[in-house]
């Protein structure tokens, strides 16, 4: 989606709020000089040149005065306008058109990461250039058809690799621009901006913005039943302190590539009970410490945190002395995850939101090893349920549910929105411990949860 504002360049500034957009600026006005951008009278971005992009910055929802001046100068003010920033989401404010007709296009960025794939968007930002088709070179298929100036062709997903592309005059075989060797890395999202002038200088070309960087997101779960609290080192630097059995961290960003993970007793330098090098790609991971202390080992899991209108659930077997299990609906119900062995995952399934009574049975039998009542899940969320503890000794066999991803915390009923139904759900669960009505995590659904929901009413973002 694109919001068009009649004149301007860019935006961004300071304050973070529950109602904030993630905004960056693009300078795509071909004959405009390098500029400074002022927001409400203060310089927010300095010395931004043609075909350059800023990083994203938090900008509270609302109206802002945007002024643009030549870099390093206080005048002339070449742009002076008001910009309305929507609440939540990622946005690119792009300066379009030649300087005499400069205008601001505000594009909504759907920034997602797909392991081993690249999400690509094309935006036509070359004034005077007709509508184009973006296609694979040498007469290949069209990827983005009939994209006009100031418009986005939307997103596609392609496997990582190098692509020879071309921009054709829409509906013809006339090649306006060749784009050989376009390298696309997995786990990223990029926008290809056609910029410059078809006839004139700077010449027609492309600027590529990296919208989602190729990073790994990693969390750690301590599921070794008899191991003490531990510290975790990443590439020899202490990253996690005092992680106890059944505790997990949030996701943290790590660089891709070979990453050394060491685990030691909390507060000590040794012994090193886990020393493993993990080849991380641009994806989400859960690294689980499994096994008893004598056989402790890392279990790296590749997390698929894609949201759906249904709940997405994965089961992981991390109980060292428990046999293979089937995870099924209680009281003889159907099997959801079949024959899951220790140290493995049963993969993902989708189920409608609701409260489910489950049981772990010895695989292939009706023998119930563990009852798992009241598993509360919703759509637009991803969950992992981990079997933990010992079957025969303490700490005893149990199930640990983890929330992996969600559309937003204020989406109480799991429809991907924040609206009337969520408000009613909060009121209906008032003064209970309902996990979705308890938006702020205090343990009870109360006034602050209602206030958080009202602040985010009408929007939903996982930021």
226 in the same domain as 209 = no
Residue 238 tokens read as 């202490």
Q: Is 70 exceeded by the pLDDT of residue 13?
A: no
Q: Is 209 helix (H, G, I), strand (E, B) or coil?
A: strand
The position carrying tokens 């350059």 is 52
Kindly report the CATH number assigned to the domain that includes residue 430.
1.10.1330.10
Dihedral over Cα of 172, 177, 182, 187: its sign: negative
pLDDT confidence of residue 457: 80
pLDDT confidence of residue 12: 28
What is the average pLDDT across 329-352? 97
189 in the same domain as 128 = yes
Instruction: Kindly report, residue by residue over 201-240, the tens digit of the pLDDT.
Output: 999 999 999 999 899 999 999 999 999 999 999 999 999 9
- Rounded CA-CA distance 48/197 in Å is 19
Peptide bond connecting 365 to the previous residue in cis, omega within 30 degrees of 0: no
Range of the domain at 354: 304-406
The residue out of 391, 406, 421 marking a domain boundary is 406
Instruction: Kindly report, residue by residue over 432-445, the tens digit of the pLDDT.
Output: 999 999 998 999 99
Q: Which of 171-180, 218-227, 256-265, 449-458 has the lowest mean pLDDT?
A: 449-458
Instruction: Kindly report, residue by residue over 85-107, the tens digit of the pLDDT.
Output: 776 788 898 999 999 998 888 89
pLDDT confidence of residue 11: 29
- In Å, how far from its chain's centre is CA 440? 20
The residue out of 241, 276, 301 marking a domain boundary is 301
158 in the same domain as 62 = no
Q: Is 80 exceeded by the pLDDT of residue 15?
A: no
Instruction: Kindly report, residue by residue over 362-405, the tens digit of the pLDDT.
Output: 999 999 999 999 999 999 999 999 999 999 999 999 999 999 99
Residues linked to residue 349 through DSSP beta bridges, in sequence order: 313
What residues contact 425, with CB distance under 8 A and at least 6 apart?
Answer: 412, 413, 436, 437
Q: Do 345 and 316 contact (CB within 8 A), yes or no?
A: yes
Q: Is 90 exceeded by the pLDDT of residue 144?
A: yes
Q: Residue 1 — pLDDT band, cuts 50, 70, 90?
A: very low
The residue out of 194, 213, 232 marking a domain boundary is 213
Q: Is 80 exceeded by the pLDDT of residue 137?
A: yes
What is the average pLDDT across 353-370? 97
The mean pLDDT value of the chain amounts to 91
Q: Residue 64 — pLDDT band, cuts 50, 70, 90?
A: confident
Instruction: Kindly report, residue by residue over 265-318, the tens digit of the pLDDT.
Output: 999 999 999 999 999 999 999 999 999 999 999 999 999 999 999 999 999 999
pLDDT confidence of residue 404: 97
Residue 169 tokens read as 């005059």
| Percent residues over pLDDT 70 in the chain | 95
pLDDT confidence of residue 78: 83
Count of domains for the chain: 5
Q: Do 11 and 31 contact (CB within 8 A), yes or no?
A: no
Q: Is 70 exceeded by the pLDDT of residue 7?
A: no
315 in the same domain as 296 = no
377 in the same domain as 345 = yes
433 in the same domain as 398 = no
80 in the same domain as 4 = yes
297 in the same domain as 228 = yes
104 in the same domain as 28 = yes
Instruction: Kindly report, residue by residue over 146-159, the tens digit of the pLDDT.
Output: 999 999 999 999 99
402 in the same domain as 309 = yes
Q: Do 34 and 71 contact (CB within 8 A), yes or no?
A: yes
Q: Is 50 exceeded by the pLDDT of residue 262?
A: yes
pLDDT confidence of residue 220: 97
Kindly report the CATH number assigned to the domain that includes residue 33.
2.60.40
What residues contact 123, with CB distance under 8 A and at least 6 apart?
Answer: 94, 107, 147, 151, 152, 153, 191, 192, 193, 194
* Edge-to-edge strand list for the sheet holding 57-60: 2-5, 103-109, 90-96, 20-27, 57-60
367 in the same domain as 461 = no
pLDDT confidence of residue 19: 57
- Rounded CA-CA distance 370/374 in Å is 13
Q: Is 50 exceeded by the pLDDT of residue 3?
A: no
pLDDT confidence of residue 461: 58
Report CA dihedral (199, 200, 204, 205) to the nearest 10 degrees.
170
Residues linked to residue 417 through DSSP beta bridges, in sequence order: none
98 in the same domain as 8 = yes
pTM of the complete model: 0.80
């Amino acid at each position: 989606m694109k919001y068009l504002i009649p004149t301007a360049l860019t935006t961004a500034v300071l304050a973070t709020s529950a109602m904030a957009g993630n905004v960056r600026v693009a300078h795509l006005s071909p004959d405009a000089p390098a500029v400074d951008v002022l927001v409400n009278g203060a310089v927010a971005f300095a010395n931004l040149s043609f075909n350059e992009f800023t990083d994203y910055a938090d900008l509270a929802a609302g109206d802002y005065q945007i002024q643009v001046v030549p870099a390093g100068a206080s005048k002339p003010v070449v742009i002076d306008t008001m910009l309305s920033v929507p609440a939540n989401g990622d946005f690119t404010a792009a300066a379009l058109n030649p300087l005499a007709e400069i205008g601001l296009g505000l594009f909504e960025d759907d920034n997602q990461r797909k392991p081993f794939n690249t999400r690509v968007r094309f935006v036509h930002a070359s004034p005077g250039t007709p509508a184009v088709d973006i296609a694979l070179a040498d007469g290949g298929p069209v990827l983005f058809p009939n994209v006009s100036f100031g418009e986005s062709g939307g997103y596609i997903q392609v496997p990582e690799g190098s692509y020879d592309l071309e921009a054709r005059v829409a509906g013809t075989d006339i090649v306006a621009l060749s784009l050989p060797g376009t390298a696309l890395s997995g786990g990223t999202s990029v926008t290809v901006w056609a910029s410059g002038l078809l006839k004139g200088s700077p010449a027609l070309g492309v600027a590529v913005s990296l919208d989602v960087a190729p990073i790994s997101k990693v969390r750690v779960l301590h599921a070794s039943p008899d191991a003490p609290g531990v510290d975790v080192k990443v590439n020899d630097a202490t990253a996690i302190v005092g992680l106890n059995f059944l505790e997990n961290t949030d996701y943290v960003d790590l660089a891709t590539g070979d990453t050394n993970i060491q685990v030691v007793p909390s507060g000590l330098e040794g012994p090193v009970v886990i020393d493993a090098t993990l080849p991380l790609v641009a994806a989400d991971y859960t690294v689980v410490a499994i096994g008893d202390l004598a056989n402790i080992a890392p279990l790296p899991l590749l997390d698929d945190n894609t949201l759906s209108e249904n709940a997405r659930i994965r089961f992981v077997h991390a109980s060292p002395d428990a046999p293979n299990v089937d995870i099924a609906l209680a009281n003889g119900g159907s099997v959801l995850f079949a024959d899951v062995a220790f140290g493995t995952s049963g993969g993902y399934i989708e189920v409608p939101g609701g409260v489910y009574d489950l049981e772990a049975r010895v695989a292939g039998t009706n023998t119930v090893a563990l009852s798992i009542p009241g598993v509360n899940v919703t759509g637009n969320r991803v969950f992992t349920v981990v079997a933990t503890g010992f079957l025969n000794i303490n700490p005893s066999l149990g199930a640990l549910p983890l929330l992996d991803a969600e559309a937003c915390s204020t989406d109480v009923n799991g429809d991907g929105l924040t609206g009337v139904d969520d408000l009613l759900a909060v009121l209906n669960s008032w003064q209970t411990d309902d996990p979705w009505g308890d938006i702020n995590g205090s343990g009870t659904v109360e006034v602050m949860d209602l206030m958080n929901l009202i602040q985010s009413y009408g929007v939903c973002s996982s930021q």
